[in-house]
């Protein structure tokens, strides 16, 4: 059914869920299990995102087909129009129509990862407005879809337009045939209500569905809001600052904040429903809806008197007839409640880790497990930023080493492989990182060994209070092929104590891990819960999508999974800022083409020096004179 028609008919509060196609087959299967559970929450519709430049076209269409056909949920398929090959938009619209999709969210879209510009490869499309106008003017598609468009209450991060100009553009999209509006995420309710009143004064009357993204983790919250240009009230900054090291408190705060926001939107703004950006996660959204009393079967519960019998004299005099129950009725109600709880919280047992709806909720969006439906969620907003002309232009390998050392030492607060300063956790192993960088092994991520530190610890703690966290030490860095070969030889003598994965731009992989081997490098033990394995290093996540490799950043020292193309495109983006024949560009392109990205993990988490002893003594790093450590090394 068309969403615009459902919006006209719906009486009570409503909500929609947004999902993105996972990066792996197992993640895709586990997302289907998750959606099947969340379908029980009776969303008005489900949104399925479309990757930049059509990069997830097949997965988007497959997922949209399954949610529409198998789960019977009206599906809104996102569709972007920039960087799409000639005719791709027509093909996507025909495919959507063929599988019964009746709703499209028409967007301009971002360029594919590794591309610098929004390129109108199909001359019909430069902006979202062009896509709306095209669909409405097409005899083939004009009546086939209900069309939605995006709006930005805090302003579009990539736009130079004033707010008035942005609203005029939004009005043009509506006038061209958009039926509803879904907004970008926001946290400033006062500003949203002001903006809503303003767009109404411009004559925009179509339904506006506010975008709500529950805060899942402090680091991901900072990254996403920075990329989206989201305004954060000072009170939120203060609230989060005091709890940012406690993942459970941050998640609980995100739930409470979302509930408060939605209540204000309904009571003060007359908003009838919201759009949840789920990040393919379940727990927070379910908790929000249950707290609001919006979830089916979770209406406000009244305390009831249990009486031996319910006769006329005992009937309640209020308008609610359910304030008294019998012992048998109370027992039945409790049993039904427990059954419902188990059904909601447990998986179906068909492949989801721990058979739980919440197995991948922690910590901090660091989904190193390729089986997680949320694997790759960090990639949704364009990664961690792009190289800009303001970045330095090294002429030698020693210049890059010096830049890396400056970042590690705190002389600069960011460099091309990290947009945030070095974390307090990485400070624990700073001498080792400096030593690595000084030899030309440029580290891009790491974590120290942790052996049963309380989960409340400000530096390495995460998850619920009262628990203990553990970490195997690992480091990831760029190195030459000669160093990779030396690592291989040294690891053969370690009797399984060390694992490594290495890959290059060409897609070659070297490893001592078995195909299905999974190395949990971060885990936590918490009261009343199963052990949570929050970060996993495995071949599948290492080589997902065309042998893509994790690019790991310093966010409290933990794994943040991105993709290989992203890791090596950093060098490409850096090089493209420079003239084609320049020495600087040739250097960066040579590095991209010849260096390997290497991950080394030591299994002895009880010895904080085990990893470093292996690298510096067994591999013999300090004896190395072949890496690029002198200013004389130039292209």
- Supply the residues annotated as catalytic: 18
Beta strands 442-447; 75-80: pairing state: unpaired
What residues contact 238, with CB distance under 8 A and at least 6 apart? none
- The string over 326-355, giving b where at least 16 C-beta atoms fall within 10 Å of a residue's C-beta and e elsewhere, is eeeeeeeeeeeeeeeeeebeebeeeebbee
With a CB cutoff of 8 Å and minimum separation 6, the contacts of 317 are: none
162's tokens: 């004033």
Give SS3 for 407: helix
Which element (helix H / strand E) includes 566?
Answer: helix 564-575
- Would residue 547 be called left, alpha or beta, if left means φ above 0 and alpha means ψ between -120 and 50 degrees? left
CA distance 306 to 323: 9
Is the peptide bond preceding residue 124 cis, with omega within 30 degrees of 0? no
Tokens 């209406």 sit on residue: 299
End-to-end, the C-alpha distance of the chain in Å comes to 61
Contact predicate 63/70, CB 8 Å: no
CA 91, CA 83: separation in Å to the nearest integer?
15
Q: Where are the alpha helices (DSSP H) in 39-157?
A: 57-69, 88-98, 128-137
Element (H, E) at 185: strand 180-185
Paired residues of 189 in beta bridges: none
Please spell the DSSP secondary structure of 241-271, one letter per residue.
HTTTT-HHHHHHHHHHHHHHHHHHHHHHH--
- C-beta separation of 606 from 451 below 8 A: yes
Radius of gyration of the chain, Cα coordinates, nearest whole angstrom: 26
């Amino acid at each position: 059914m068309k969403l615009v028609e459902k919006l006209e008919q719906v009486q009570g509060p409503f909500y929609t869920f947004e999902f993105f196609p996972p990066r792996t087959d197992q993640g895709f299967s586990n997302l289907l299990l998750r959606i099947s559970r969340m379908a029980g929450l009776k969303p008005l519709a489900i949104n399925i995102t479309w990757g930049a430049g059509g990069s997830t076209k097949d997965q988007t269409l497959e997922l949209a087909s399954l949610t529409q056909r198998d789960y019977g949920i009206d599906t809104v398929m996102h569709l972007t129009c920039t960087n799409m090959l000639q005719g791709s938009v027509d093909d996507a619209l025909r495919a959507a129509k063929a599988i019964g999709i009746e709703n499209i969210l028409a967007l301009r879209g971002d360029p594919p990862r590794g591309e610098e510009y929004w390129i109108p490869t199909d001359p019909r499309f430069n902006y979202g407005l062009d896509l709306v106008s095209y669909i409405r003017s097409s005899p083939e598609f004009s009546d086939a879809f209900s069309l939605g468009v995006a709006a930005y209450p805090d302003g579009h991060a990539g736009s130079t337009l004033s707010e008035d100009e942005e609203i005029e553009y939004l009005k043009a999209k509506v006038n061209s045939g958009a039926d509803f509006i879904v907004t970008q995420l926001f946290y400033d309710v006062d500003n949203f209500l002001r903006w809503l009143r303003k767009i109404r004064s411009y004559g925009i009357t179509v339904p506006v569905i506010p975008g709500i993204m529950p805060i899942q983790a402090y680091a991901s919250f900072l990254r996403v809001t920075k990329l989206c240009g989201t305004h954060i009230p000072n009170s939120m900054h203060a609230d989060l600052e005091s709890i940012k090291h406690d993942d459970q408190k941050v998640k609980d705060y995100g739930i409470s904040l979302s509930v408060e926001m939605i209540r204000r939107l309904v009571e003060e703004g007359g908003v009838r429903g919201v759009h949840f950006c789920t990040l393919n996660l379940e727990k927070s959204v379910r908790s929000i809806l249950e707290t609001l009393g919006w979830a089916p079967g979770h209406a406000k519960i009244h305390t009831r008197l249990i009486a031996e019998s319910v006769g006329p004299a005992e009937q309640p005099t209020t308008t609610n007839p359910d304030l008294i129950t019998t012992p048998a009725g109370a027992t039945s109600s409790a049993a039904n409640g427990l059954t419902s709880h188990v059904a909601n919280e447990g998986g179906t047992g068909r492949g989801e880790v721990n058979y739980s709806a919440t197995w991948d909720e922690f910590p901090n969006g660091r989904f190193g497990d390729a089986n997680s439906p949320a694997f790759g969620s960090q990639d949704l907003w364009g990664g961690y930023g792009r190289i800009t002309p303001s970045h330095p232009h090294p002429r030698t390998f020693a210049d890059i080493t010096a830049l890396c050392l400056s970042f590690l030492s705190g002389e600069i607060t960011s460099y091309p492989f990290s947009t945030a300063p070095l974390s307090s956790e990485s400070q624990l192993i700073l001498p080792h990182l400096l030593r690595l960088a000084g030899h030309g092994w440029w580290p891009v991520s790491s974590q120290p060994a942790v052996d049963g530190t309380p989960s409340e610890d400000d530096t390495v703690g995460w998850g619920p209070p009262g628990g203990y966290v553990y970490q195997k030490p690992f480091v990831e860095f760029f190195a030459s092929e000669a160093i990779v070969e030396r690592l291989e030889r040294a690891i053969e003598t370690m009797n399984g104590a060390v694992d490594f994965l290495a890959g290059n731009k060409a897609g070659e992989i070297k490893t001592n891990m078995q195909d299905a081997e999974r190395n949990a490098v971060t885990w936590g033990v918490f009261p009343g819960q199963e052990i949570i394995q929050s970060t996993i290093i495995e071949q599948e996540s290492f080589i997902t999508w065309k042998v893509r490799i994790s690019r790991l950043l310093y966010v409290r020292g933990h794994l943040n999974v991105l993709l290989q193309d992203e890791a090596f495109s950093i060098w490409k983006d850096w090089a493209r800022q420079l003239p084609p024949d320049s020495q600087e560009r040739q250097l960066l392109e040579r590095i991209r083409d010849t260096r390997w990205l290497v991950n080394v993990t030591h299994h002895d988490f009880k010895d904080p020096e085990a990893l470093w002893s292996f690298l510096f003594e067994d591999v013999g790093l300090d004896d190395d004179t072949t890496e690029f450590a002198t200013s004389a090394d130039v292209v």
